[in-house]
Amino acid sequence: MRSRIRPLLLFAPGAIVLAACGSTSTSGPSASPDPFSGSITVFAASSLTSPFNTAEKGLELDHPGFTAQYSYGSSQALVTQIINGAPADVIATANTSTMQQLVAKGLVDTPQAFVKNKLEIIVAPGNPKNIKGLADLATPGLSVVLAMAGVPVGDYATKALKAANVSVTPKSLESDDALVVEQVESGNADAALVFVTDVVSAASKVTGIAIPDAQNVIGTYEIAVLKSSTNTTAAQAFVTSAVSGDIQTELLSVGFLKAS
Amino acid sequence: MSRGVTRRPLLGLLIPAAVAVLFIALPLIGLLAHVDWSNLPSQLVSTDVLTALRLSLECSVIAVVISLLIGVPLAYLLARTSLPGRRIVRGLVTLPLVLPPVVGGIALQTALGRTTPIGTLLDHFGIVLPFSTAGAAIAEAFVGFPFLVITVEAGLRQRDDHFEEVAATLGARPWRRFWEVTLPLAAPSIAAGAALCWARALGEFGATITFAGSFPGTTETLPIAAYSSFEGSGQIGMAITLSLLLLAISVLVLVVLRDRWLGALR
């Protein structure tokens, strides 16, 4: 049994008043309270780190009194934590199979697909090893790093390499895509397969080599409110924003693809 | 030790003491309660587990050998000489004991990573430490060797040096005194230090995964395999099996070496 005390709810009426005065949102009848109030905890795939953090700043400006705390990691790790009882209000995964584990255990409401993402090869700035495509990753002596099996970006990479009939022996299998990017940034690895959006986040520290759509794997991200959420109103508002609101806009601006 | 003195235990201390025992025992009981005993034998002999076990033994033994080669001379110098800066050196050597291992891994990465000056030099000879078994062993040695140095130094200090003096008056030269008197006398503390160092190296996780990465058969040691099963693929059953294996090895170390080990630390 878990019972959580919600001191922040005490501030909710204040937040509603503030929201009514200061909210810039024009939609909906003015009498309805701002759903973004109190605080929520969002568990999100590490590839969502940058856009969610940016979106959070906007949300806090638009909705005084609202805060979200984020825990980023590999989707599988986050799902394992939730199954083991970690308190969260929203979960966003980088594939559908990890989310399915929560659905199967009845821990979430119906998940919604909210964005898609595809793979890209990353190499050191300027591409010193002259990598042109997936086939080059099999070059002998090339140090390639992938994410481990079970981690969405690792599974997508394995799928793409298999479809292209490229046999790669990675030097290391990292537990999330942020760590994969880090290995290329540090120069330990020559190349890696990560999401297109990871390349955008890493900015100038790595160079991205696009993979043609025919060879690429398009992964679907899902988001859901947890049944154990103690602030379902705000959690649902967050999910809605990720599917079709401000958070969605932010996600598309950093390279995520529309879900449908 | 005073004998025959019976004292009523302070009951007020009994409760926190019992909590302390439970604090250690409960998680272990929890682990044991979740072991899938029927699948355990087949999991233990699976290729994944055996690969990680072999690698763990390999890395930890290399780490102990490295530590012995550089740690015993250092312990001797710290215990038996008055070199300037000894206190600073001792502090430095003790640092990995309290340093979070992941910091050790990042530090190793910044010093020995592939693009660092030393890493570039090694690369000319075809040696790349990150993602290699040698790199994993170095990370384990970094974290484990203070245990050896401190134990051996304490052992040398506890013994006065009159055997060495006698040997000197009998005409034994310094190297002969070191090999034939000092080292044999220090043997119990060297064994205890090596055992502590080995146990620490075997359980090493943070520095290893940060510096050497994680790949089955190359750098994915038992603790990293347990973490990968738990965090990466979500195979909690396998994580528990690997944890049980590490627990069994730890208990074995305690049982086999308890006399030497505790003797040297007492």
Going by C-alpha positions, the residue among A194, A175, B229 that lies closest to residue A184 is A194
Interface confidence (ipTM) of the complex? 0.71
At A67, the amino acid letter reads T
Write out residues in chain B with pLDDT < 50, as ranges. 1, 266
Q: Which residue has the tokens 């004998």?
A: B3
Full pLDDT tens readout for chain A, 260 residues: 444 444 433 334 444 444 444 444 444 445 578 899 999 999 999 899 999 999 999 999 999 989 999 999 889 889 988 988 889 999 999 999 999 999 999 999 999 999 999 999 999 999 999 999 999 999 998 999 999 988 899 999 999 999 999 999 999 999 888 889 999 998 889 999 999 998 887 777 899 999 999 999 999 999 999 999 999 999 999 999 999 999 999 999 999 999 98
Nearest Cα residue in chain B from A147: B232
Q: Is residue B43 part of a domain?
A: yes
> What pTM does this model have?
0.77
Number of domains in chain B: 1
Q: Which residue has the tokens 């929890």?
A: B30
Does the beta-carbon distance from A151 to B234 stay under 8 Å? no
Q: State which H helix or E strand residue A168 sits in.
A: none
Q: Is residue B23 part of a domain?
A: no
Contacts of B130 in chain A (CB under 8 A): 171-172, 188
**Two structure tokens written together for B222:** 């038992």
Nearest CB neighbour to B231, from listed A80, A171, A188: A80
B213 touches chain A (CB under 8 A): yes
Q: Is residue A170 within 8 Å of A145, Cβ to Cβ?
A: yes
CATH assignment at residue B199 = 1.10.3720.10
Angle of helix B47-80 relative to helix B236-265, nearest 10 degrees, comes to 20
CA distances from B213 to B55, B127, B243 (A): 14, 16, 20
For residue B110, give its domain range: 39-265
HSE-CB at B218 with a 13 A cutoff on CA atoms is: 17
CA distances from B200 to A75, B240, B242 (A): 31, 20, 17
Nearest Cα residue in chain B from A75: B232
Q: Is residue B28 part of a domain?
A: no
Does the beta-carbon distance from A173 to B236 stay under 8 Å? no
Does the beta-carbon distance from A183 to B234 stay under 8 Å? no
Nearest Cα residue in chain A from B212: A172
Q: How far apart are the first and last CA of chain A?
A: 39
Q: Is residue A176 within 8 Å of A155, Cβ to Cβ?
A: no
Q: Is residue B8 part of a domain?
A: no
Contacts of A74 in chain B (CB under 8 A): 231-232
Secondary structure (3-state) at A158: helix
- Reported as a single tens digit per residue, the pLDDT across A106-156 is 999 999 999 999 999 999 999 999 999 999 999 998 999 999 988 899 999
- Reported as a single tens digit per residue, the pLDDT across B21-68 is 999 999 999 999 999 899 899 999 998 899 999 999 999 999 999 999
B215 touches chain A (CB under 8 A): yes
Nearest CB neighbour to B214, from listed A74, A173, A187: A173
Q: Is residue B20 part of a domain?
A: no
Going by C-alpha positions, the residue among A130, A116, A107 that lies closest to residue A45 is A116
Query: What is the C-alpha separation between B215 and A189, in angstroms, rounded?
Result: 13
Q: Is residue B1 part of a domain?
A: no
Q: Is residue B33 part of a domain?
A: no
Q: Is residue A220 within 8 Å of A259, Cβ to Cβ?
A: yes
A77 touches chain B (CB under 8 A): yes
HSE-CB at A69 with a 13 A cutoff on CA atoms is: 8
Does the beta-carbon distance from B234 to A149 stay under 8 Å? no
Neighbours of B251 (CB within 10 A): 11
Beta-carbon contacts of residue B151 (< 8 Å; ≥ 6 apart): B189, B190, B192, B193, B196, B264, B265
B214 touches chain A (CB under 8 A): yes
Q: Is residue B30 part of a domain?
A: no
Q: Please give the DSSP secondary-structure letter assigned to residue A204.
A: G
* Residue-wise DSSP of B195-260: HHHHHHHHH--HHHHHHH---TTTT--HHHHHHIIIIIS--HHHHHHHHHHHHHHHHHHHHHHHHH
